[in-house]
Every structure is written in structure tokens, then in C-alpha cells.
Amino acid sequence: MTDMSAAQPGPAQPGPAPDGAPQPEVSRRSRRNRIILWTVLAVVLVALVLLAASFLPRWWAQTVGGLVDGSFGRGAFWGLAFGIVFTLVPTLFVARAVRRWNGWKKPVTFIAAGVLLAAPNLFTLWVVVGTTSAAHAAERTMDVNAPFFRGATAWGVLVGLAAGVAIELLWRGWRERGRKLDAIRKAERDPGSVGD
């Protein structure tokens, strides 16, 4: 009898009850730490965005203004150059990202690289459409120090986008033609395999 009563409490106490008691405390603590971490990261991100919103447009306008130095010709040249290059290359990166991949890491990497490479044009767009005082100040700086730059950049973006799409379509057509030629050559080398 004593053996039976001694054996019953063993299975009745599953063991996780005493061990499981501190676990909710640990999970509560880790959840609280995660909430604090995400809150701090959100505050830092908002602070960085606000700092960037007040700094980047002015910095970009002064950088472009130093490059153009008030010249209409240089404004048109650099605007076209920035518009074409920093649209053409990102377009090719994004086109590479939308091809078939097995995972998600490579497409995300190509898209992130494309966005980073488009940063000069995005800064110019920020100055043009921005509603902050920094964007308005940057626009006035560009009016004086970088004439024609914004308009030429817009034309360059259109040219770069058209060139990027054309290059991607030509590349895909060339690859498809290469696959078809390989299939024809393979069929010519092994004519019996088609009949089999």
C-alpha cells in the first residue's frame, strides 16, 4: 500500500510544474526587454529620419551647387548625367531582382542595391517635392547655384529608364535565342534521341 501511494505522487507531479513556474517570469521578462528594445529602436529611427529630413536636402543642394557653380551648361550636363546613370544602373539591378530566384535574399539584396544607387536622384526628387523648410531652402539654393539641374535630371531619368528597360528586354531576348539554338544543336547532334 505504501508502495502504491508512493508511486502515485510521482506521475501526479509531472515535474514541469515546479520547473515551469519560473518560465513565465523569464518569458515575461524577455517580452518586456523586446518591447523596450523595439521602442528604443523606433525612437532612434524617428530621430534619424527627422535629422535626415532637416540635413540631407540642404547638403545635397550645396553639393550640387558646388559641382555646377551657377553655370547653365554644367547644370544641364550634370543633371543629365546623374539622371541617366543613377536610373539606368538601378533599373538593371531591380530587373535582375525580379527574375526567378529560389530564395528571397538575392532579390532583396538587388532591390536594396538599386535603391542605394538611385539615391542621388531620390535626393533631387526630395528637394523638388519636399514640403519641409529644409526642402524649400534646398530648392532656393539649387535655383541660384544649380540652374537647369533639376529639369535635366528629370529628362535623364526618362532616358535612363528607357535605356534600362531596352537593355533588359534585349538581354532576355538574347538569352531565349541562345536557349533555342542550344536545343536545336542538341537535337542535331542526337537525332536518334528524338525518335526514341
Per-residue pLDDT tens digits for 34-85 = 888 899 989 888 888 888 878 899 999 999 999 999 999 999 999 999 999 9
| Contact in structure between 112 and 186 (CB atoms under 8 Å) | no
- Range picked from 12-16, 58-62, 129-133, 170-174 for highest mean pLDDT: 58-62
Q: Is residue 7 part of a domain?
A: no
Per-residue pLDDT band for 188 (boundaries 50, 70, 90) equals confident
| Contact in structure between 93 and 113 (CB atoms under 8 Å) | yes
Q: Is residue 10 part of a domain?
A: no
Grid coordinates representing 59 are: 547638403
Q: Is residue 193 part of a domain?
A: no
Q: Is the whole model's pTM more than 0.75, yes or no?
A: no
The mean pLDDT of 166-190, rounded to a whole number, is 87
How far, in Å, CA of 20 to CA of 186, rounded?
66
Q: How many domains does the chain have?
A: 1
Per-residue pLDDT band for 33 (boundaries 50, 70, 90) equals confident
Grid coordinates representing 34 are: 523586446
Q: Is residue 194 part of a domain?
A: no
Per-residue pLDDT band for 105 (boundaries 50, 70, 90) equals confident
| Contact in structure between 133 and 105 (CB atoms under 8 Å) | no
Q: Which amino acid is at 104?
A: W
Cβ-based neighbours of 163, under 8 Å, separated by 6 or more: 84, 88
pLDDT value, residue 182: 84
Grid coordinates representing 140 are: 532656393
Cβ-based neighbours of 157, under 8 Å, separated by 6 or more: 83, 84, 87, 121
Range of the domain at 73: 18-188
Q: Which amino acid is at 92?
A: L
Per-residue pLDDT band for 116 (boundaries 50, 70, 90) equals very high
How far, in Å, CA of 125 to CA of 156, rounded?
13
Q: Is residue 4 part of a domain?
A: no
DSSP 69: T
Q: Is residue 86 part of a domain?
A: yes
